[in-house]
């Protein structure tokens, strides 16, 4: 009997890629999404890739009656919780929205997991929990600094909630994956990053600019304390990230967890600057990226990249794809959107 996994936010960028990888490994996937930052056609795209159409329910996790009916009607072996608002800049402008959506959705989920005795939760966390760390690379033991944005703060609070809840709820185990910067798309180019409105992240802004949908890419600041003055991030291919979720669920279902609450950095361990990403995109795709340097953006940190030793050894996972792979697949995906 296939294990049944609930994906909240499963039609989103990372959720859809994770759905594909889970189904590849023989899991049955049920998706909940309110489609506020994704499209229903993603379900059909997943079916085209994998030959199986995941069950889909459209509602907001803050809608408790709809969520409870889902729990009543289904037996879940595990849950991967992606559903959240995720734009750093928007969170600075709309903090109440971010605290409402990101925290109340998790609280509703945890209450029903307790009520219906669902034991395994993988949480979509973020490297933003570290704030601007004083030392690099970041290990899982790096203490949380003051969050630079409400978005980052919701991830810190989310992890605190899981830490405290698993201590008192003996049947619940949770695992947080602290993503660095997911980019790229599935090699089929049937799913990829599809931001609603103006992209908040670098790579879709690059691809939309080169596709002629934006006049210029904005590089937010070139006076940071980095080799070329632009901010540095640890970029990871979304397919590698999706596979980390499969390993996380396997770890829980196989009773491999050593503590009721665990957390892992998911990145490549290498930092790349904004200009390095632009140059990689230009080189691998034989094109130019028009850009202009503008003022720094509120909420952004200077540089961060991961120490992935714990994930490599404990989770038995390692990133396989490089920056060129990311840029090539991102452009292939963008071209399918404009063809």
**What tokens does 151 get?**
């978005």
Beta bridge partners of residue 120, listed in sequence order: 173
Q: Say if strands 217-220 and 291-294 run parallel, antiparallel, or are unpaired.
A: parallel
The answer to whether residue 286 scores a pLDDT higher than 90 is yes
pLDDT for 277 beyond 80: yes
pLDDT tops 80 at residue 299: no
**Residue 218 backbone dihedrals phi, psi, to 5 degrees:** -95, 125
What are residue 29's DSSP bridge partners?
Answer: 5
Strand 232-233 and strand 272-273: the pairing is antiparallel
Owner of token pair 């600057």:
273
Mean predicted lDDT score pLDDT of the chain: 96
Most confident among 70-84, 132-146, 299-313 (mean pLDDT): 70-84
Q: What are phi and psi of 183, to 5 degrees?
A: -145, 175
pTM: predicted TM-score of the whole model, two decimal places: 0.96
Give burial (CB, 10 Å; 0-12/13-18/19+) of 40: exposed
CA-nearest of 20, 32, 54, 13 to 196 is: 13
H/E segment holding residue 293: strand 291-294
Choose, from 13, 98, 130, 151, the residue flagged as catalytic. Answer: 151
How many of the other CB atoms lie within 10 Å of CB of 221?
A: 18
Stretch 242-253: mean pLDDT, rounded?
Answer: 98
Query: CA gyration radius for the chain?
Result: 19
pLDDT of residue 200: 79
Asked if 127 contacts 267 with a C-beta cutoff of 8 angstroms, the reply is yes
pLDDT band at 82 (very low <50, low <70, confident <90, very high): very high
- What is the mean predicted confidence (pLDDT) over 43-61? 97
Whole-number Å distance between alpha carbons of 86 and 94:
12
> SS3 for 331?
helix
φ, ψ at 65 (rounded to 5°): -60, -40
Tokens 């490549």 belong to residue: 268
Q: How confident is the model at residue 1 (pLDDT cuts 50, 70, 90)?
A: confident
Q: How would you write 144-212 as a 3-class SS string?
A: CCCCCCHHHHHHHHHHHHHHHHHHHCCCCEEEEEEECEEECCCCCCCCCCCCCCCCCCHHHHHHHHHCC
Contacts of residue 86, Cβ cutoff 8 Å, sequence gap at least 6: 37, 151, 200
Q: Is the pLDDT of residue 38 over 80?
A: yes
Each residue of 112-152: pLDDT tens digit?
999 999 999 999 999 999 988 889 999 999 999 999 899 99
Query: Is the N-terminal amide bond of 337 cis, ω within 30° of 0?
Result: no
**pLDDT on residue 301:** 85
Annotation marks residue 151 as catalytic? yes
Sign of CA dihedral 312, 318, 324, 326: negative
Q: How far apart are CA 256 and CA 249, in angstroms?
A: 10
Per-residue pLDDT at 75: 97
Using pLDDT thresholds of 50, 70 and 90, give the confidence band for residue 104: very high
Domains and CATH numbers, the chain: 4-182+237-267 (3.40.50.720)
| 8 Å CB contact between 185 and 330 | yes
């Amino acid at each position: 009997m296939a294990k049944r996994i609930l994906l909240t936010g499963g039609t989103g960028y990372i959720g859809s890629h994770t759905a594909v990888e889970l189904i590849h490994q023989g899991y049955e996937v049920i998706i909940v999404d309110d489609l506020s930052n994704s499209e229903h056609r993603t379900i059909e795209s997943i079916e085209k890739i994998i030959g199986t159409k995941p069950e889909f329910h459209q509602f907001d996790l803050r809608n408790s009656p709809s969520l409870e009916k889902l729990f009543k009607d289904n037996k879940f072996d595990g849950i991967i919780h992606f559903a959240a608002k995720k734009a750093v800049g928007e969170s600075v402008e709309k903090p109440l929205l971010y605290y409402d959506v990101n925290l109340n959705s998790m609280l509703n989920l945890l209450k029903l997991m307790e009520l219906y005795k669902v034991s395994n939760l993988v949480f979509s966390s973020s490297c933003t929990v570290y704030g601007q760390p004083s030392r690099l690379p970041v290990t899982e033991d790096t203490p949380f600094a003051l969050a630079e944005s409400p978005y980052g703060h919701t991830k810190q609070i989310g992890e605190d909630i899981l830490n405290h809840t698993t201590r008192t709820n003996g049947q619940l185990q949770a695992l947080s994956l602290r993503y660095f910067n997911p980019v790229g798309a599935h090699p089929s180019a049937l799913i990829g990053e599809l931001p609603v409105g103006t992209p908040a992240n670098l790579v879709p802004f690059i691809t939309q600019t080169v596709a002629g949908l934006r006049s210029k890419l904005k590089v937010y600041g070139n006076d940071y304390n980095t080799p070329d003055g632009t901010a540095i991030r640890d970029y990871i291919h979304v397919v590698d990230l999706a596979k980390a979720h499969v390993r996380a669920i396997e770890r829980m279902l196989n009773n491999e967890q050593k503590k009721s609450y665990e957390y892992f950095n998911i990145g490549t361990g290498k930092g790349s600057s904004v200009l390095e990403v632009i140059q990689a995109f230009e080189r691998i795709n034989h094109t130019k990226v028009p850009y202009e340097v503008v003022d720094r953006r509120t909420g952004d940190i200077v540089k961060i990249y991961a120490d992935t030793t714990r994930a490599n050894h404990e989770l038995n996972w390692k990133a396989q794809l490089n920056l060129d792979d990311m840029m090539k697949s991102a452009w292939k995906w963008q071209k399918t959107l404009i063809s």
